[in-house]
Amino acid sequence: MLDTFTLGFELSWIIEIYLGLILLYAVTIMGSYMVLGYLSVIELKDYLTRNSFVNYEVLLSSEFAPRLSLIAPAYNEGLTIEENVKSLLSLNYNNYEVIVVNDGSKDNSMDILIKTYDLEPVEMELDIKLATKPVRGLYKSKNQAFKKLIVVDKENGGKADALNVGLNIAGNPYAVCIDVDCILDKDSLLKLAKPFMENDGKRVIATGGVVRIANQCVIKDGRLIEVNVPDRMLPRIQVLEYLRAFLLGRMAWERLDGLLLISGAFGAFDKEIAIQAGGYNTKTVGEDMELVVRMRRYMLENKLPYTVSYIPDPLCWTEAPESVNIFKKQRSRWMRGTIETLFIHKKMFMNPKYKILGIISVPYWTFFEFLAPLIEFIGVVITLVFLVLGLLNWKLFLLLLLFVYVFAVMFSVLGLLSEELTYHKYPKVRDFLKLLGAAIIEPVYFHPLGVYSSLLGYWEKMRGKKTWGEMTRQGFQKK
Amino acid sequence: MEKFWDLYADKNWVESFLVYSIAIFVLGSVMMFLTLILIRYRRIHRQTLVTEYQVTIEAILMGVMFSDSIYATMVNDATIAKLFRSRLFRDTLMEGTLNLHRNYEGQYAQKLEKFYAESHLIRDSFEKIKHRNWAKNCQGIEELAEMEVGQAFNTFVQLSKSKVRPLKIAAIKGCIKLNGTQGLGHLVRHKNLIDTWTQLSIIHALKKGDIETTKGIDKLLTSSNKSVVSLGLKIIQALKLSENTSAVINLHSKTENLMIKTEARRVMEKLENLN
């Protein structure tokens, strides 16, 4: 009798503690979202006011504009490479070169490039600073119209390896690393280059731009001419997700100077620092985040004043996965990248030597990006156990569920409001209603799918998976 | 304290907390949704008004330029007088006047300047440069500089010392617009760093400004502020001012700052290539 009583008493305490911790975690994560959202809105407002007086023509024809090297790794991009390279060559900027790195494609990418751009092999003295897979050849165009273009043919070594080859070859002090299949805004380089010149005693080591979803948008001659919200629910919710992440997340980290991630799809780096920090890590699938963390760590460890800048303008448009299978692969890879980066830089965790990065950014990513799916999963399992044991307090459970759901919807609406107040890229009422519908569905459809994909990422990481996995794309809607 | 403990101990707080939070979140969502609709409505309404105003403004400005209409006669019309009291109308009128002024010279430009003063648009601009908000200051500077209001020059010089980058740039550009390269003279005594973006903005303003004379640029090379010296060198290179070669050579031989020395050498090479 006594034992049953003791057991019951202890169990009830365990449940209490468990519920308390879950509530504390939920409140902390929501609180952090709200704080980040608030900071983002302030930063966005500030940026837009400042930007309204900026004349980018200043850079367009200036001989003093920062010299940029665009590095675009390509693997089996034969279907779109001709048009994509053409659009890269026609950006509004003066001092830049385009380096397309063919990462051992198995298709006819190289043949298409040679034929379209009238390429011929050239001898170039390479100053190899980063070890990479062997380079088979370097090509330049015989046609003066394509004098900005350099094509590198190399053995397959993955995206990070291809980017390192690009860094070795880049002749300019700033490297802009992009996904070759992204659609760039015509003025994207002008906007990306500007922060490098705003040096208030701190060296700007990297700048990143906002990435938006281009599914169902209309593309003409490699340029985005009409923005639409996708009809399919999965990419549609990703539109909303990107709005929240970029407008309500990264801007806040920029304000705090604690940004850990610049999207691999479009980011610019101070080449010298990127090389000194060791270039892209070929052993991780999260090479974009890992490089930013390593560059920042390098600057902090060498006590060099620096900053990382971020531009909220939608500069780069990419295709989001439309099928659940591709989405799962992408998200599990993102999770593996996060785990690998946090593990490589575990020394920074809660380490005041790394300032805001060590005290806030890395712990935030650890608790709210890396551990969140696991905590949610454990929550679901324990809830099921309570259900089976008949211990579940239904009223409290439903209230907690509603609490989380309503918060998620509110945060999405805040994302939509920020977009409306800033860039207003979705003016059609139909598109706006589609996004609002997505906000209502997101917590019950997309979020669980994201959690499941992240758990897959844990599993794949434990099994030692190191590859990216095939990322089949549908292709953009063309006019 | 005991009250809080009791509340915690009886577990009712969890329920209350959740219920109140849900209510706040729902209210927050609804408020934001309504704000969103309101913003859309206001945007459309504003656009409609601006389109309507533009028709009237076009007639007013054409009258000013080609029929010698004057403000005093215009406001005799009660409708026009009422419009002149509207902030949006005045802002749209200001924009229209500035745009026309950019495209016309000589007597037409002078007529617009006269109208700008008579219609008290100039007063709006002066209010803006005295405003506490730097963004308003920038607007005021752009307006006064475009309409070539010389009496604003000293205020521009003061504002060019601001630490707010866009304001500093707007003020220096304003100085250039009003006084050409002479408008840069005050930078010799400038204490703060002039970053590369600001330097390029100044050079762009000089290139676009149809500057008649480029005298006085060499004075920038004598500044104790290295960023001002760097600006001077960049201007000499960009505008190909070979008459300043001796000043650059002098700077190159005297300076101990390695960056300035390198930059001076590059400018010397560029100027040499010109000859």
- Write down the pLDDT at residue A181: 82
Beta carbons of B36 and A420 less than 8 Å apart: yes
The reply to whether A297 falls in a domain is yes
pLDDT of residue B11 exceeding 70, the answer is no
DSSP state of B76: T
What is the distance in angstroms between the Cα of B71 and the nearest Cα belonging to chain A? 30
Query: For A400, which of B18, B200, B203 is closest by C-beta distance?
Result: B18
Beta carbons of A65 and B14 less than 8 Å apart: no
Q: In which band, very low, low, confident or very high, does the pLDDT at B107 lie, cut at 50, 70 and 90?
A: very high
The reply to whether A144 falls in a domain is no
The reply to whether A79 falls in a domain is no
Let me know: does A284 contact A341? Beta carbons within 8 Å.
Answer: yes
Distance of CA A169 to the CA centre of its chain: 25
Q: Which residues of A touch B13 (CB under 8 A)?
A: none
Q: Name which of A13, A21, A62, A432 to mutate to probe chain B: the one with the most chain B Cβ atoms within 10 A of its Cβ.
A: A62
Query: For A64, which of B19, B169, B200 is closest by C-beta distance?
Result: B200
Beta carbons of B25 and A409 less than 8 Å apart: yes
pLDDT of residue A147 exceeding 60, the answer is yes
Q: A103: which strand partners?
A: A154
Distance CA B166, CA B141 (A): 11
* Closest A-chain CA to B141: A53
pLDDT of residue A177 exceeding 80, the answer is yes
Q: Which residues of B touch A63 (CB under 8 A)?
A: 237-238
The reply to whether A234 falls in a domain is yes
What is the distance in angstroms between the Cα of B77 and the nearest Cα belonging to chain A? 36
Q: Name which of B201, B208, B273 to mutate to probe chain A: the one with the most chain A Cβ atoms within 10 A of its Cβ.
A: B201
- Write down the pLDDT at residue B97: 96
Q: In which band, very low, low, confident or very high, does the pLDDT at A1 lie, cut at 50, 70 and 90?
A: very low
Q: Which residues of A touch B26 (CB under 8 A)?
A: 406, 410
Give the residue, A125 or A359, on which the prediction is more confident: A359
Distance CA B28, CA A414 (A): 9
Q: Name which of A24, A56, A58, A431 to mutate to probe chain B: the one with the most chain B Cβ atoms within 10 A of its Cβ.
A: A58
Distance CA A100, CA B168 (A): 40
Identify the CA nearest to B209 among candidates B240, B181, B241.
B181
Q: Which residues of A touch B195 (CB under 8 A)?
A: 197-200
Angle at which helices A324-344 and A446-462 pack, to 10 degrees? 50
The reply to whether A464 falls in a domain is yes
Identify the CA nearest to A340 among candidates A290, A282, A279.
A290
Q: In which band, very low, low, confident or very high, does the pLDDT at A278 lie, cut at 50, 70 and 90?
A: very high
Whole-number mean pLDDT of chain A?
Answer: 92
Give the residue, A217 or A473, on which the prediction is more confident: A217
Beta carbons of B22 and A402 less than 8 Å apart: yes
Question: In this complex, how many residue pairs, one in chain A and one in chain B, have their CB atoms less than 8 Å apart?
Answer: 94
Q: Which residues of A touch B204 (CB under 8 A)?
A: 55, 57-58, 62
Characterize the bridge pairing of strands A183-184 and A223-226: unpaired
- Write down the pLDDT at residue A4: 54
pLDDT of residue A342 exceeding 90, the answer is yes
Q: A151: which strand partners?
A: A100, A139
pLDDT of residue A256 exceeding 60, the answer is yes
Let me know: does A148 contact A89? Beta carbons within 8 Å.
Answer: yes
What is the distance in angstroms between the Cα of A323 and the nearest Cα belonging to chain B? 30
Let me know: does A125 contact A222? Beta carbons within 8 Å.
Answer: no
Let me know: does A316 contact A182? Beta carbons within 8 Å.
Answer: yes
3-state SS, residue A441: helix
Beta carbons of A19 and B14 less than 8 Å apart: yes
Q: In which band, very low, low, confident or very high, does the pLDDT at A3 lie, cut at 50, 70 and 90?
A: low
Let me know: does B18 contact A22? Beta carbons within 8 Å.
Answer: no
Q: Residue B6, Cβ neighbours under 10 Å: how many?
A: 11
The reply to whether A110 falls in a domain is no
Instruction: Provide mean pLDDT across the span A349-355.
Output: 97
The reply to whether A59 falls in a domain is no
Beta carbons of B237 and A55 less than 8 Å apart: no
- Write down the pLDDT at residue A97: 97
pLDDT of residue B59 exceeding 80, the answer is yes
The reply to whether A242 falls in a domain is yes
At A41-83, the pLDDT tens digits run 999 999 999 999 999 999 998 999 999 999 999 999 988 899 8
At B20-30, the pLDDT tens digits run 999 999 999 99
Question: Can you read off the two tokens belonging to residue A407?
Answer: 């918060």
- Write down the pLDDT at residue A7: 57
Task: State the greatest distance between any 2 C-alpha atoms of chain A, in Å, as a whole number.
Answer: 93
- Write down the pLDDT at residue B4: 58
Q: Please report which helix (H) or strand (E) contains residue B74, including its range.
A: helix B71-74
pLDDT of residue A85 exceeding 60, the answer is yes
Query: For B195, which of A64, A200, A400 is closest by C-beta distance?
Result: A200
* Closest A-chain CA to B263: A64
At B171-218, the pLDDT tens digits run 999 999 998 888 888 899 988 889 999 999 999 999 887 677 778 899
pLDDT of residue A2 exceeding 50, the answer is no
Q: In chain A, how many domains are there?
A: 1
Distance of CA A201 to the CA centre of its chain: 28
Distance CA A460, CA A467 (A): 10
pLDDT of residue B147 exceeding 90, the answer is yes
Instruction: Provide mean pLDDT across the span A451-468.
Output: 90
% of residues, chain A, pLDDT over 90:
80
At B117-144, the pLDDT tens digits run 999 999 999 999 999 999 999 999 999 9
What residue numbers bound the domain in which A323 lies?
1-53+182-479
